[in-house]
Amino acid sequence: MKNLDEIIKSRRDTRHFTSEPVPESVIEKALQAGHYAPSVGLTDATKYYLIKSDVIKKAIKNLFLDFDKKAANQTDTAAQKTQYQALKLEAIEEAPLGLVICYDRSVLNNFTIGTVGSNEAIKFSAVCAAQNIWLSLTEQGYSMGWVSILNYSQFKELLGLGENMEPLGYFCVGKPATDYDNQPMLQQLNWKQKSESPSVEEITKVHQKDKISVPEFKTAILDTIHLSEALQYKIDQKTKPTGSLGVLEVLAKQIGEVFQTLEPKILEPTLVVFAADHGIAAHDVSAYPQDVTRQMVANFLDGGAAINVFCKQNSIKLAIVDAGVNYDFSMTSTLISAKIAKGTQSFLQGPAMSLTELQHCYTKGNEIVTAIAKTGSNCIGFGEMGIGNTSTASVLMSVITGIAIEDCIGKGTGVSDERLLQKHRLLKKAIEDYQGSPTLEDKLAHFGGFEIMQMASGMLTAHQNRMLLLVDGFICSVAFLIAYKKNPLILKNAVFCHCSAEQAHAKLLDYLGVKALLQLDLRLGEGTGCAVAFPIIQSAVAFLNEMASFDSAGVSTK
């Protein structure tokens, strides 16, 4: 029998197994060891599934092979790619037993000690369980190989796991066929070498960053009188009765003023969807569970959402931002990581975020839009995704404008009348219970959402960079309201793309003194209103630049 020190030093990436079956007593002892692992808040969130079926093993192997091609293409060099493609993973079908270790995210629906700072603590508990299982199996003369090169969404579907179940991977269990000279595979290939000793450093002082200040959003006050008059003259000289193109004429003049030219052009139009979770969602204010935020972000990244379709249709670049989703996304995704935390806290129980987190939102929003402006984009649309963010936006609208909360609440994702009444009671109570200062910043920190604050900051940055700013529906308009309170000049850059089916949106547009381009009863969010309205904006630019004048066409004026 090996002692603990010998076991810990032994190789653990077992890839080849004998056909010897794993006795029930061995697996029972190993799983019990996993159960003894630390469990944050004593949640018992770690779940185990045994796989003995050859059919299921083969299906998992096929899933691995399919995803393995993608992994091979991500290697650093051609030599690495060749080495990687030469590797085989017979163990999935070869090992007598398969084990799936999962953690159950549904435990987060209730308050759990140890998960407030990071709800990923339930994942960490599951990893501790996996380590205990490996230790127990190795002590008994068996071993376990961890397969993580999988499309986890397909893996879950194949096994019939619910959306709340998150697998760590697929584990091959059995009697090891070799000890590989007790060297990890990558070390045997001279691909990577494990250091002889751990990296240890003592931290001896508290590190504090200088106070983060809100980025200064300054706009040069330009003499635009002559440009405005020239644009109006150019519009009036087109071969049409004066004013006959209606809103298109207003748009054309606005765009020319924003870009400071008589011949404006839309360059590299970009739409940014900011996504985050909200603590208020735990109070049953939405028709959908909070995990839909994460699911929809994955849908955006896969190209399957409405905003993907409309952006593709109208040749608009699409960027997705994780402003604070309650999930850790893959580092290899195209997602822009600007996560402040894994969702805000519930403002029914205290501030949604700290003032420091609010400042971080300003900084992140500024950085994201600055980077987009540097690509040459001069037109940016804003969209959002976040279960519970209609409630957050309603409260923000009420506390900023003074409009009664009952006039700021709508059905959001389509809640029932009964749930709408409950939503009204909760949000009214939250406002009545607020004991913070009357300053805008304190109200924003207490009631705000990460994605809303990042959008507000991004809008101010877009104005600073003389970009045309496309505003989507209710929630994006609330973000604009915040930006407007900080710099009223931003109104000159904004195009309000549609008036949503949320009853509060029309009231907010009236408060701002603006009109929306479209009335389509949209209430999806995602920036869909911006993408749908974009061809109209292009039409305004097109007629200004390409339509003949009375003089050039030889047409008599009135």
Residue from 94, 166, 526, 546 carrying the catalytic annotation: 526
Does the structure show a pLDDT above 60 at 335? yes
Smallest Cα–Cα separation from 122: which of 47, 172, 49? 47
Which pLDDT tens digit goes with each residue over 148-167? 888 777 888 899 998 788 89
- Taking the C-alpha atoms of residue 314 and residue 540, their distance in angstroms, rounded to an integer, is 15
337 DSSP β-pair partners: 322
Does the structure show a pLDDT above 70 at 86? no
Structure tokens given for 462? 């877009």
Which pLDDT tens digit goes with each residue over 524-545? 899 999 999 999 999 999 999 9
**124 in Cβ contact with 69 (< 8 Å):** no
Smallest Cα–Cα separation from 392: which of 451, 337, 458, 436? 451
26/554: higher pLDDT: 26
Residue 221 is predicted with a pLDDT of: 38
What does the pLDDT average to over 239-267? 94
> For 268-538, which CATH class?
alpha beta
212/431: higher pLDDT: 431
471 DSSP β-pair partners: 382, 496
Three-state secondary structure call for residue 178: coil
3-state secondary structure 39-54: CHHHCCCEEEEEECCH
Which of 214-218, 294-298, 509-513 is predicted least confidently? 214-218
269/69: higher pLDDT: 269
- Taking the C-alpha atoms of residue 340 and residue 13, their distance in angstroms, rounded to an integer, is 35
Residue 413 is predicted with a pLDDT of: 57
Question: Please, which pLDDT band fits residue 290 given cuts at 50, 70 and 90?
Answer: confident
Region 4-66+81-189: CATH code = 3.40.109.10
Residue 209 is predicted with a pLDDT of: 57
**268-538: same fold as 4-66+81-189?**
no
- Taking the C-alpha atoms of residue 174 and residue 516, their distance in angstroms, rounded to an integer, is 65
What does the pLDDT average to over 373-391? 96
Express as a percent the part of the chain with pLDDT over 70: 86
What does the pLDDT average to over 103-132? 81
122/331: higher pLDDT: 122
154/193: higher pLDDT: 154
Sheet holding 468-471, edge to edge: 336-337, 317-324, 270-276, 379-385, 468-471, 494-496
Residue 196 is predicted with a pLDDT of: 74
Beta-carbon count within 10 A of 148 CB: 13
Residue 6 is predicted with a pLDDT of: 77
**172 in Cβ contact with 182 (< 8 Å):** no
Mean pLDDT score of the chain? 86
Residue 546 is predicted with a pLDDT of: 93
Residue 216 is predicted with a pLDDT of: 46
Smallest Cα–Cα separation from 289: which of 386, 172, 151, 400? 386
| Domain boundaries defined on the chain | 4-66+81-189, 268-538
- Taking the C-alpha atoms of residue 404 and residue 503, their distance in angstroms, rounded to an integer, is 13
Question: Please, which pLDDT band fits residue 364 given cuts at 50, 70 and 90?
Answer: very high
Question: Please, which pLDDT band fits residue 317 given cuts at 50, 70 and 90?
Answer: very high
Q: Is residue 526 annotated as part of the catalytic site, yes or no?
A: yes
Question: Please, which pLDDT band fits residue 182 given cuts at 50, 70 and 90?
Answer: low
308/109: higher pLDDT: 308
- Of these ranges, 115-129, 285-299, 392-406, 410-424, the one predicted with the greatest mean pLDDT is 392-406
Does the structure show a pLDDT above 60 at 88? no
Residue 108 is predicted with a pLDDT of: 75
What does the pLDDT average to over 323-348? 85
Does the structure show a pLDDT above 70 at 4? yes
CA distances from 385 to 182, 371, 554 (A): 49, 21, 52
Residue 243 burial by CB count (10 A; 0-12/13-18/19+): exposed, middle or buried?
exposed
Does the structure show a pLDDT above 90 at 420? no
What does the pLDDT average to over 90-104? 90
Does the structure show a pLDDT above 90 at 261? yes
- Taking the C-alpha atoms of residue 397 and residue 474, their distance in angstroms, rounded to an integer, is 10
Residue 516 φ/ψ, nearest 5 degrees: -90, 150
54/214: higher pLDDT: 54
Question: Please, which pLDDT band fits residue 332 given cuts at 50, 70 and 90?
Answer: low
- Taking the C-alpha atoms of residue 511 and residue 509, their distance in angstroms, rounded to an integer, is 5
